[in-house]
Amino acid sequence: MSTGFLQSDLEELKSLGTYRSLKTMDSPQGREIILDGKMVLNFCSNDYLGLANDGRIKKAAIEAIEEYGFGSGASRLVCGQMSPHEKLEEELAVFKYTEKALVYSSGYMANTGIIPALMDRHSIVIGDKLNHASIIDGAILSRAKFERYPHVDMQALEEILKKLPAGSRKMIVTDSIFSMDGDLAPLKDIAELSKRYGAMLMVDEAHGFGVLGSSGGGLVEELGLGAQVDIQMGTLSKAAGCFGAYVCGTKILQDYLINKSRSFIYTTAMPPALAQAARLALKIIREGKHLRAKLRGNADYLRAGLKGLGFDTMNSRTPILPILVKDSTQAVAMSKKLFAEGIFVQAIRPPTVPEGTARLRLTVTAAHVREDLDHLLKALRVL
Ligand code: PLP
């Protein structure tokens, strides 16, 4: 078969300003990184609490490698389950006040494993239009009818729910913090609607875990909605600075997923050292009020500074701070100019965000210091 379309499709992406390429880091993750050979201030990572290169977590991982080796060697159900996996799940369940937790190898795999396990061609999945791609892919894989409502539009959500046959199996699924906009889902309203219309509720706390809630449990904890959310999913790859993901819920949910979730069943268990590292990260998160306070302070300072410069930060209320540019080519040009000034901020373009909403996506972490933020604001002022 001819592969000519590869070249022509990539050329088209280039002409639209949406071509992507990889940059390589030669340093650990952090507020300063060496990227493509250059030391830059980093405003791109999801390492919100600065734990990706934390000495205590590294030590825990190294010790676990000594004790358990590196690879797990098999899927969880065959013979890849080791005690760090089991203990991590026990601790996650305690942390989230749920009966059980189940760990997946990544957030992408969790979303593409949970939704198809629970929903089938006779079910309906209903989600916010700006939900993460992994949720969308999970819904598509499930073969359920897939309804999407305009971003945070509760009236539209209710209109969809009203029309569904009573007794149909349905799930509402939403990000808690939207990954490219940094705004919050109206979770109280969503929980109320899910109860009224008998829908299961799944919340993706990828960006909320570690960041929101007094012990870092996410938006669900912050709003006290634990009892109303059937499926609390989150990643260990962002604020926890590790890798992997979790789902917290009832014992029967865990049992069901172990038996039916293909991305859990048909993949090698996460390396035990990652699970062990995540256990310590969870403890640091639980005790990390000071980290969350620093993070919030940094985010508020930067948000106020950006607004003062006249930038449109959309409805961000979190450490994810978009600067709406609209045009993809212009967003890339701005990112390049900042890079020349020693600052790394990614341009985010369609299809990751809707057409006409290309943006710079800034993320701030607890590891940033005030001078970093001032340096960024100064560079943006003359952009
Ligand atoms: N869900 C959301 C909302 C995300 O932003 C991400 C980020 O990548 C994921 C899921 C996927 O998580 P992971 O990177 O662990 O695969």
262 and 294 co-located in one domain: no
Determine, yes or no, domain membership for 132: yes
Interval 281-294 mean pLDDT: 98
249 and 296 co-located in one domain: no
Asked if 242 contacts 50 with a C-beta cutoff of 8 angstroms, the reply is no
Residue 1 — pLDDT band, cuts 50, 70, 90? low
215 and 317 co-located in one domain: no
For residue 3, is pLDDT > 80?
yes
95 Cβ inside 6 Å of ligand 1: no
**CATH code, domain carrying 27:** 3.90.1150.10
User: Ligand 1 centroid to 381 CA: how many Å?
Assistant: 32
Integer Rg of the chain from CA: 21
The verdict on whether 207 is a catalytic residue reads: yes
311 and 198 co-located in one domain: no
Amino acid at 119: M
Active-site option among 106, 142, 179, 335: 179
Determine, yes or no, domain membership for 30: yes
Kindly report, residue by residue over 135-171, the tens digit of the pLDDT: 999 999 999 999 999 999 999 999 999 999 989 999 9
For residue 122, is pLDDT > 90?
yes
Average pLDDT over the chain, rounded to an integer: 97
Question: Which of these three, 259, 286, 313, is where a domain ends?
Answer: 286
204 Cβ inside 6 Å of ligand 1: yes
Residue 221 — pLDDT band, cuts 50, 70, 90? very high
Kindly report, residue by residue over 323-376, the tens digit of the pLDDT: 999 999 999 999 999 999 999 999 999 999 999 999 999 999 999 999 999 999
For residue 17, is pLDDT > 90?
no
Q: Which residues pair with 103 in a beta bridge?
A: 246
Q: Report the distance separating Cα 220 and Cα 268, nearest Å.
A: 30
Determine, yes or no, domain membership for 50: no
* Cβ-based neighbours of 242, under 8 Å, separated by 6 or more: 51, 52, 57, 236, 274, 277, 278, 281
251 and 136 co-located in one domain: yes
The verdict on whether 195 is a catalytic residue reads: no
For residue 30, is pLDDT > 70?
yes
Q: Rounded to 10 degrees, what is the CA torsion of 77, 83, 85, 86? A: 80
The verdict on whether 72 is a catalytic residue reads: no
Can you give the residue range of the structural domain that contains 144? 55-286
Determine, yes or no, domain membership for 3: no
Determine, yes or no, domain membership for 100: yes
User: Ligand 1 centroid to 240 CA: how many Å?
Assistant: 13
Determine, yes or no, domain membership for 47: no
For residue 383, is pLDDT > 90?
no
237 Cβ inside 6 Å of ligand 1: yes
226 and 366 co-located in one domain: no
Q: Cis before residue 271, ω within 30 degrees of 0?
A: no
| Atom number in ligand 1 closest to CA 111 | 10
